[in-house]
Amino acid sequence: MGAREYLHQLVEDLPETGIPAAEQYLASLCTDPVLRALANAPLDDEPETEEERLAVEEARESLRRGEGVSHEELRRELGL
């Protein structure tokens, strides 16, 4: 199955409640040059720096120690 056929099948399988959002997204990809450029942009291919690697490891260690913030807690802090 090609990409277009797969996309058609996804549309057919969408629940009715998902159709407006899918329609809006697909229409914006056809008409908005910025969204189209973002959708076609390559993944970041720059190598990770030692500073970035250390920052990620520090963040993971913090999570392992239970110092993370839950989604619900963050929403409360932001008043959402």
Total-model pTM: 0.43
pLDDT confidence of 49, banded at 50, 70, 90? very high
Q: What SS3 string covers 34-69? A: HHHHHHHCCCCCCCCCHHHHHHHHHHHHHHHCCCCC
| Residue 67 CA: distances (Å) to CA of 12, 28, 34, 61 | 44, 39, 37, 9
pLDDT confidence of 30, banded at 50, 70, 90? confident
Closest Cα partner for 35 from 44, 26, 46? 26
CB 36 within 8 A of CB 29: yes
Kindly list the domain boundaries of the chain, sorted by start residue.
3-39, 49-80
The enclosing H or E element of 16 equals: none
